[in-house]
């Protein structure tokens, strides 16, 4: 160290650094002290300007050291802790210094009934002061002043507090400085004096703000309740909150490090609790919230528990309902009478509280039991006569342990009976000494449970421990300080309660918390290739039965199935059944799963599967969801595998099936959906296969999501959005063969697949109609009025099977292949033919096909395919259990010829509702002409016209054709070039998008107060103007419409006179719609 003149100091003086880090550190040279004190004060106030100060090395080093300490000390350290205090008065040894000792168990107390009174602290030096925190005993100050001074004589008031009622005051934002800080009380909040547990003073670094937002002050909770703790905490400036601690008094409940700052307090002890939250920021600055007082009350173990009485058992529960307005009353004039409550578990009972009506007992005893048969008296009481209504007997029980508690009355105080408003029981459970198994563990019958008992947890004065299963003692031994295991074996399927009973040397007995465990039946599932199989269960208790279910919890049992064996319906989907054992008393065990695996190639996806109707002898919903189908007229028939009574036949006259459960208005769940079914028909009258409507029977008023067939046998799928929007297959399917059809609607559009191949699509249709009422899925029939190519009959004639409906799910290509089971794509000669089958584990595949083709691969290929490889391919899968039903796919190999025609262009573009095709050749040799082919799915093409070729031409030739397709959406074209010898080759495939024709609907018309104009196309693609003209030619209304693909516009007619009007709709100045409108 050096002197002012930088000469060495012979005896360097130690720098004193107290805990606050805010006092000058020692005996510095006299010339340094004033400047250093001023510099420190300047930095504390956040002012960094130190120009003009002359520094020597000692001052500079010391100041830097002090600054580093001061930065962490301000605002978080109690400057008053351990400092000397002075007060106006004190009594009973509660001296001033006790308010500054950091101990909330000690306090300063003034003389009683005297105002004013004061107490101050000497911080030892002048400090910037930002906050004062006061923790009062019950004798708090109602009105007081916070004052500061540099000499303990001249005081400056920096905060005035009036009307205080809180026991903790956190006074922030003082922004002052001083050496002495005083609380000057001018008015007491009690008849006593002023009493402070803690008087804390903090610096000016901004501490975080914190408040306790839950629970509310004065709230009351039961001991069993989970008490929600929540706090708001905000750091100052650029700092962050690093932790929020929750306290009950000085006991830490728990901490939270990230928002939201919430915590759940369980098992809070009974009594009154003062709760606070303490926030700590990233600079370790802390603040405490204002305290919140709550009450935790003991749990009435008897409330709402089952009760039994000697007489009037029907109203016994009224004594345990927590309602002083209801009561149990015995029959009159008969002794003895009794009433007891089942607590559900054994408790150490220490109090019974009886609230009597006027007819109370003169003599009674309190009894406990573990089985409601053998009773032990724990207390007896006698009441004098004429004590009036609502007499309360508080009975303290010693060493009472039991599950059942009984009031046994032997004498009455009136000619009536015994009448109780409330019968309350209080007590505790013993320590948890069952270390294993965990609560709600599950075992398979016959159950073998190793129960681990922690004898050491019972306490040093325990001398005997009993282990009980459902109240029956299965093991007894002397208490031991170590853990031991008790094997419990041979448990039948059922629900069990494990409990321990502990006997103590003082004569008390307690019951440990009950541990529930479950034993479920043992089950045997199986595998099936489509036939019914038997699944089985074992382990029911003696004299017990079983209940079989399709769902793991809830639901109704399968009717009539109470034995250990259950024969499933024919299996065509991997399914899980569930079985519970039922004891002689009717108690049902938890359910065990019995899995049935389907060995078959047609495997419906289960993701999003909402309803599944395999039609195995009934319309049962195979998902277990309970939405069983209601069959009206349709009759059972063989399915596509030849299984009897596994499909339904519809007569095309009045047969149909409908769902039991309706779907909510607007049916939002079906805006993205998929439907799948199998059908077979020869009908020439069409009909509806599946769809949704607002009526469960008869014609629906709102209806769409239709899958129907026209008279030609083509399939259509449609949505109604102000207009009937449909897609249609080119091919017909009334060929007396089984076909699988899948329809999907999703954000990708509307798609229709048959036998795994895309047949039609419209990517612009992405949602279904929103109904004004509930909707039902209808199978085989519903209203088709107004729909394109409406068939002769709305009723379908043919076979339907395996109807699956998926919500919020678009079936993937893999899902669709799984539904059909196998697939193959059309190829040209020379390409690779790829055969595909659904993947199944642990099976063997067997393919056969043309020319002796065989393969054991799941997806075999044939490179360089020729026309000889075309034809039917059949595949099965098998394992040691069974062989699946065969599936057949037809492979098409197109023969291509290389012909001397050079096609240089081929294009298509919309022309209104038509399509204009253009193509051109550069060279033609032996060219007979071109067949123009069209498709709606890029797979199935049909010839629509033949255009004569040039024969032989060595110059460019243009061609054109105007097509008028009857469909909208995406249409595909290709050219089939044919030579004079019949050889052919194909052009590339091109696509064109056709928008639906504009159609308009004005309804109602005539109208009274309102009418609606609705249209189906993008009519609002430009400037659209709606005009209403009266019968005199005057324009009375003009509306400019918003742009949207689908439009609906409502006209309020309330202000117009009755008469005839003309409605006009113009787009970009062109008239697109005109209609007469009658205003009634």
The SS3 assignment for 1020 reads helix
CA distance linking residue 1017 with residue 1000, whole number of Å: 9
- Fold match flag (901-994 vs 1000-1079): yes
On the question of pLDDT at 170 being above 60, the answer is yes
| DSSP 8-state class, residue 680 | E
CA distance linking residue 636 with residue 642, whole number of Å: 12
pLDDT bin (cut points 50, 70, 90) of residue 637 is very high
Q: Helices 33-44 and 57-73, interaxial angle, to 10°?
A: 30
On the question of pLDDT at 1069 being above 80, the answer is no
- Residue linked to tokens 């069209």: 934
Segment 503-537, tens digit of pLDDT: 888 877 887 668 999 999 999 999 998 889 999 99
- Pairwise pLDDT comparison (170 vs 3), residue with the higher score: 170
At residue 562, φ and ψ (nearest 5 deg) are -125, 0
Give the count of alpha carbons within 13 A of 605, CB side only: 19
On the question of pLDDT at 120 being above 80, the answer is yes
Pick the CATH number of 209-297 from 2.60.40.10, 3.30.830.10, 3.30.360.10, 1.10.260.40: 2.60.40.10
Q: What is the largest CA-CA distance in the chain?
A: 131
Residue 1043 near residue 1049, CB atoms below 8 Å: no
CATH code that applies to domain 85-202: 2.60.120.260
Q: Alpha carbon of 1016 to those of 166, 638, 787, 809: distances in Å?
A: 70, 43, 14, 26
**pLDDT at position 91:** 95
pLDDT bin (cut points 50, 70, 90) of residue 49 is very low
Q: Which CATH architecture has domain 901-994?
A: Sandwich (2.60)
Segment 865-877, tens digit of pLDDT: 888 898 889 999 9
Question: Which residues are bridge partners to 692 per DSSP?
Answer: 704, 777
Residue 627 near residue 657, CB atoms below 8 Å: no
Mean pLDDT of 637-657: 92
Model confidence, pTM: 0.53
**The domain over range 522-598 is classified in CATH as 2.60.40.10:** yes
pLDDT bin (cut points 50, 70, 90) of residue 237 is confident
CATH code that applies to domain 609-820: 2.60.120.200
Q: To which CATH superfamily is domain 822-893 assigned?
A: Immunoglobulins (2.60.40.10)
Q: For residue 206, give the nearest of 286, 272, 116 by alpha carbon.
A: 286
Looking at the chain, the number of H-run helices and the number of E-run strands are 3, 79
On the question of pLDDT at 752 being above 90, the answer is yes
Q: For residue 201, give the nearest of 142, 127, 291 by alpha carbon.
A: 127
Residue 669 near residue 781, CB atoms below 8 Å: no
Pick the CATH number of 1000-1079 from 3.90.79.10, 1.10.3720.10, 3.40.390.10, 2.60.40.1220: 2.60.40.1220
Q: How far is CA 479 from the centre of its chain?
A: 47
Segment 420-447, tens digit of pLDDT: 999 999 988 777 889 999 989 999 999 9
- Pairwise pLDDT comparison (902 vs 795), residue with the higher score: 795
In percent, the amount of the chain with pLDDT more than 70 equals 89
The SS3 assignment for 198 reads strand
Q: Is 1068 left (phi over 0), alpha (psi -120 to 50) or beta?
A: left
SS (H, E, C) 824-889: ECCEECCCCEEEEECCCCCCEEEEEEHHHEEECCCCCEECCCCHHHCEEEEEEEECCCCECCCEEE
CATH code that applies to domain 307-428: 2.60.120.260
CA distance linking residue 920 with residue 902, whole number of Å: 9
CA distance linking residue 721 with residue 996, whole number of Å: 12
Give the count of alpha carbons within 13 A of 354, CB side only: 32
Structure tokens at 418: 């015994």
Structure tokens at 64: 């830097």
Residue 839: which residues within 8 A CB-CB, separation 6 or more? 858
Radius of gyration of the chain (CA): 45
At residue 667, φ and ψ (nearest 5 deg) are 30, 55
Mean pLDDT of 575-596: 94
CA distance linking residue 725 with residue 704, whole number of Å: 10
Residue 437 near residue 334, CB atoms below 8 Å: no
CA distance linking residue 926 with residue 891, whole number of Å: 31
Q: Which CATH architecture has domain 434-519?
A: Sandwich (2.60)
Structure tokens at 490: 């041979």
Residue 407: which residues within 8 A CB-CB, separation 6 or more? 338, 339, 340, 352, 354, 361, 364, 365, 366, 418, 420, 423
On the question of pLDDT at 904 being above 80, the answer is yes
CA distance linking residue 351 with residue 929, whole number of Å: 106
**Where are the chain's structural domains?**
1-73, 85-202, 209-297, 307-428, 434-519, 522-598, 609-820, 822-893, 901-994, 1000-1079
- Residue linked to tokens 């495939």: 989
**pLDDT at position 45:** 38
Kind plus residue range of the DSSP H or E element containing 37: helix 33-44
Segment 693-724, tens digit of pLDDT: 889 988 888 888 899 999 999 999 998 888 88
On the question of pLDDT at 685 being above 90, the answer is yes
Residue 714 near residue 754, CB atoms below 8 Å: no
In percent, the amount of the chain with pLDDT more than 90 equals 49
At residue 660, φ and ψ (nearest 5 deg) are -75, -45
Least confident of 309-323, 326-340, 753-767, 841-855: 753-767
CA distance linking residue 3 with residue 780, whole number of Å: 109
Segment 137-162, tens digit of pLDDT: 999 999 999 999 999 999 999 999 99
Segment 536-583, tens digit of pLDDT: 999 999 999 999 998 898 888 998 899 999 999 888 888 899 999 999
């Amino acid at each position: 160290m050096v002197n002012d003149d930088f000469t060495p100091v012979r005896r360097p003086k130690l720098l004193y650094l107290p805990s606050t880090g805010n006092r000058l550190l020692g005996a510095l040279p006299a010339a340094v002290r004033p400047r250093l004190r001023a510099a420190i004060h300047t930095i504390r106030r956040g002012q960094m300007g130190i120009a003009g100060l002359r520094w020597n090395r000692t001052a500079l080093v010391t100041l830097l050291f002090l600054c580093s300490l001061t930065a962490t000390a301000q605002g978080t350290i109690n400057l008053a802790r351990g400092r000397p205090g002075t007060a106006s008065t004190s009594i009973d040894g509660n001296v001033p210094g006790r308010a500054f000792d950091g101990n909330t168990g000690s306090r300063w107390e003034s003389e009683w009934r005297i105002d004013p009174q004061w107490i101050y602290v000497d911080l030892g030096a002048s400090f910037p002061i930002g906050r004062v925190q006061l923790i009062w005993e019950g004798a708090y100050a109602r009105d007081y002043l916070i004052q500061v001074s540099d000499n303990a004589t001249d005081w400056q008031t920096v905060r005035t507090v009036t009307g205080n009622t809180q026991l903790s005051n956190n006074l922030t934002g003082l922004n002052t400085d001083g050496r002495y800080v005083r609380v000057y009380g001018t008015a007491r909040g009690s008849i006593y004096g002023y009493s402070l547990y803690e008087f804390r003073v903090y610096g000016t670094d901004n501490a975080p703000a914190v408040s306790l937002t839950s629970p509310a002050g004065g709230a009351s909770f039961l001991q069993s309740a989970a008490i929600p703790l929540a706090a708001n905490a905000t750091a100052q400036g650029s700092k962050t909150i690093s932790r929020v601690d929750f306290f009950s008094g000085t006991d830490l409940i728990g901490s939270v490090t990230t928002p939201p700052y919430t915590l759940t307090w369980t098992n809070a002890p009974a009594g009154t609790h003062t709760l606070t939250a303490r926030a700590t920021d990233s600079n370790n600055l802390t603040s405490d919230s204002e305290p919140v007082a709550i009450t935790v009350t003991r749990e009435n173990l008897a409330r709402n528990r089952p009760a039994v009485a000697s007489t009037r058992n029907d109203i016994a529960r009224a004594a345990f309902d927590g309602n002083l307005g209801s009561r149990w009353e015995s029959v009159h004039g008969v002794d003895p009478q009794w009433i007891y409550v089942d607590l559900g578990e054994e408790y150490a009972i220490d109090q019974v509280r009886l609230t009597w009506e006027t007819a109370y007992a003169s003599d009674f005893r309190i009894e406990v039991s573990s089985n409601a048969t053998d009773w032990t008296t724990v207390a007896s009481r006698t009441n004098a006569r004429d004590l009036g209504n609502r007499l309360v007997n508080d009975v303290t029980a010693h060493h009472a342990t039991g599950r059942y508690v009984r009031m046994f009355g032997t004498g009455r105080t009136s000619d009536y009976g015994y009448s109780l408003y409330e019968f309350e029981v209080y007590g505790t459970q013993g320590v948890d000494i069952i270390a294993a198994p965990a609560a709600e563990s599950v075992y398979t019958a016959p159950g073998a449970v190793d129960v681990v008992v922690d004898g050491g947890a019972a306490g040093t004065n325990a001398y005997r421990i009993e282990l009980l299963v459902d109240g029956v003692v299965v093991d007894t031994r002397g208490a031991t300080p170590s853990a031991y295991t008790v094997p419990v074996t041979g448990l039948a399927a059922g629900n069990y309660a494990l409990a321990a009973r502990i006997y103590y040397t003082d004569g008390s007995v307690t019951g440990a918390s009950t541990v529930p465990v479950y034993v479920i039946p043992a089950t045997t599932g199986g595998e099936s290739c489509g036939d019914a199989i038997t699944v089985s269960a074992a382990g029911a208790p003696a004299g017990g039965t079983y209940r079989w279910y399709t769902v793991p919890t809830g639901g109704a049992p399968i009717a009539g199935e109470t034995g250990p064996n259950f024969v499933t319906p024919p299996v065509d989907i991997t399914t899980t059944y569930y079985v519970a054992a039922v004891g002689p008393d009717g108690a049902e065990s938890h359910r065990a799963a019995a899995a049935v695996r389907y060995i078959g190639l047609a495997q419906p996806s289960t993701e999003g599967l909402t309803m599944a109707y395999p039609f195995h002898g009934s319309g049962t919903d195979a998902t277990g969801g309970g939405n069983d189908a209601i069959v009206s007229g349709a009759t059972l028939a063989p399915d596509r595998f030849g299984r009897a009574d596994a499909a339904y036949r519809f007569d095309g006259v009045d047969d149909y099936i409908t769902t039991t459960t309706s779907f909510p208005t607007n049916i939002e769940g079906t805006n993205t959906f998929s439907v799948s079914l199998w059908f077979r028909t020869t009908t020439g009258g069409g009909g509806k296969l599946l769809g949704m409507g607002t009526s469960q029977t008869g014609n629906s008023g709102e209806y769409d999501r239709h899958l129907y067939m026209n008279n030609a046998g083509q399939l259509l799928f449609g949505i109604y959005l102000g207009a009937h929007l449909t897609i249609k297959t080119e091919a017909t399917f009334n060929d007396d063969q089984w076909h699988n059809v899948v329809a999907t609607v999703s954000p990708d559009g509307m798609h229709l697949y048959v036998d795994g191949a895309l047949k039609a699509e419209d990517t612009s249709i992405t949602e279904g109609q929103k109904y004004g009422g509930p909707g039902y899925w209808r199978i085989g029939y519903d209203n088709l009025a107004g729909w394109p190519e409406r068939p002769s009959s709305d009723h379908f004639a043919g076979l339907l099977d395996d109807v699956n409906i998926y919500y919020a799910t678009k079936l993937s290509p893999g899902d669709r292949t799984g539904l059909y089971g196998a697939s193959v794509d059309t190829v040209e000669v020379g390409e690779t033919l790829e055969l595909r089958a659904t993947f199944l584990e642990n099976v063997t595949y067997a393919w056969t096909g043309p020319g002796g083709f065989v393969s054991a691969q799941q997806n075999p290929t044939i490179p360089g395919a020729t026309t000889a490889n075309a034809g039917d391919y059949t595949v099965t899968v098998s394992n040691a259990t069974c062989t699946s039903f065969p599936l057949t796919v037809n492979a098409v190999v197109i023969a291509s010829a290389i012909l001397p025609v050079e096609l240089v262009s081929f294009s298509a573009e919309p022309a209104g509702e038509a399509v204009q095709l253009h193509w051109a050749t550069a060279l033609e040799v032996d060219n007979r002409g071109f067949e123009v082919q069209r498709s709606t799915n890029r797979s199935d093409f049909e010839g629509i016209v033949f255009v004569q070729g040039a024969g032989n031409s060595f110059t460019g030739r243009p061609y054109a054709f105007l097509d008028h397709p009857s469909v909208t959406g995406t249409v595909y074209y290709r050219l089939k070039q044919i030579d004079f010898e019949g050889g052919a080759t194909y052009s590339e495939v091109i696509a064109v998008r056709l928008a639906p024709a504009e159609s308009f609907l004005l309804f109602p018309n005539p109208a009274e107060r309102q009418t609606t104009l609705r249209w189906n196309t993008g009519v609002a693609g430009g400037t659209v103007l709606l005009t209403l003209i009266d019968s005199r030619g005057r324009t009375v209304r003009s509306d400019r419409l918003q742009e949207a693909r689908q439009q609906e516009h409502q006209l309020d007619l309330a202000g117009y006179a009755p008469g005839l009007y003309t409605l006009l709709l113009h787009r970009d100045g062109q008239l697109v719609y005109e209609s007469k409108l009658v205003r009634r």
